[in-house]
Amino acid sequence: MTKKVGVAGCGALGTIVCKALQKGLTGYEFVGVSDLTTPDFGVPNLSFDELASVSDMVVECLPAKVVPELAKAVFAQDKDLLMISACAYLLYPEIDEMVKESKGRLLVTSGALSGLDAVSALQCASIDSAIIASTKQPKGFKGAPFIKQMGINIDEIVEKTLIFKGNAFDAAKAFPANVNVAATLSMAGIGPEKTQVEVWADPNVAGNTHEITVKGGSSTIISRVENQPDPSNPKSSMLAGYSVVAALKKMNEQIAVI
Ligand SMILES: NC(=O)c1ccc[n+]([C@@H]2O[C@H](COP(=O)([O-])OP(=O)(O)OC[C@H]3O[C@@H](n4cnc5c(N)ncnc54)[C@H](O)[C@@H]3O)[C@@H](O)[C@H]2O)c1
């Protein structure tokens, strides 16, 4: 059965998803978008309520602070939400309450991270520790609450510098647009309190790098990904957009690696 899908947020990542849907993804009908601008993907630009009403599943590619409003519209109508802004799930506990009162599902994509397949498998046995180290160019952290609170001048960072160390909860508050990968790892693994996060700024790094080390009874998982930042938003990696497209494909394919 064809699933009707809408996209909320047509910035750097949403555009990747919209282009794939516009080109055609087997099993999906692209029914609409919701954005503050007027994106031209051949489908109507709707309010969150309208988008949820015409969709079976809504793909979220919004700033984290807008996600609760979308989640409210989607879950009140018992629809599914495919989420990219995993930080929003940690920052706004009301999203969890909304899902639990709904028949809809909350699905989070792997985003810019690698190795989550193995983390999910190990989680079925036991995980003792989970650490993620994320490294970006200093400009990728511009506007982050932690940078403002600590009065850090990112233009003065001339070598690789550890700018934050803490758990995934505190990391989400400090860098809501940068540590979605840490939030996703915490959801797949041992939760936000136990997941340790390091945020590094490095003026000499070309892309956005994430390295996870997850240890459990039967395995040690070490995975590292080096991503190209999206040209229109250096905070985001293009791989995160492709992860949504891959998730949509997997949910529909007769033969899939899941
Ligand atoms: N999970 C991951 O690995 C990962 C990786 C990168 C980015 N992200 C997250 O994905 C999200 C999208 O990232 P992006 O780079 O595409 O951001 P972006 O800023 O390029 O795009 C956001 C879009 O949302 C739209 N928007 C904002 N407020 C809106 C509202 N009230 N109603 C409708 N539209 C609204 C904007 O117009 C814009 O087009 C961000 O939260 C980002 O932190 C997640």
68: its two tokens: 């609760």
Which of the four pLDDT bands, split at 50, 70 and 90, describes residue 1? confident
The rounded Å distance from CA 127 to ligand 1 centre is 31
The rounded Å distance from CA 216 to ligand 1 centre is 34
* Neighbour-count burial for 61-82, b at 16+ CB within 10 Å, e otherwise: bbebebbbebbbbbbebebbbb
Query: pLDDT tens digit string along 44-84?
Result: 999 999 999 999 999 999 999 999 999 999 999 999 999 99
Residue 36 above 90 pLDDT? yes
Kindly name the residue from 79, 136, 210, 235 that is annotated as catalytic: 210
Nearest residue by C-alpha to atom 12 in ligand 1: 61
Which of the four pLDDT bands, split at 50, 70 and 90, describes residue 190? very high
Walk me through the domains of the chain, giving residue ranges and CATH numbers: 3-108+240-250 (3.40.50.720), 116-227 (3.30.360.10)
Mean pLDDT of all residues belonging to the chain: 97
Measured distance CA(10)–CA(61) in Å, rounded: 7
Residue 101 above 90 pLDDT? yes
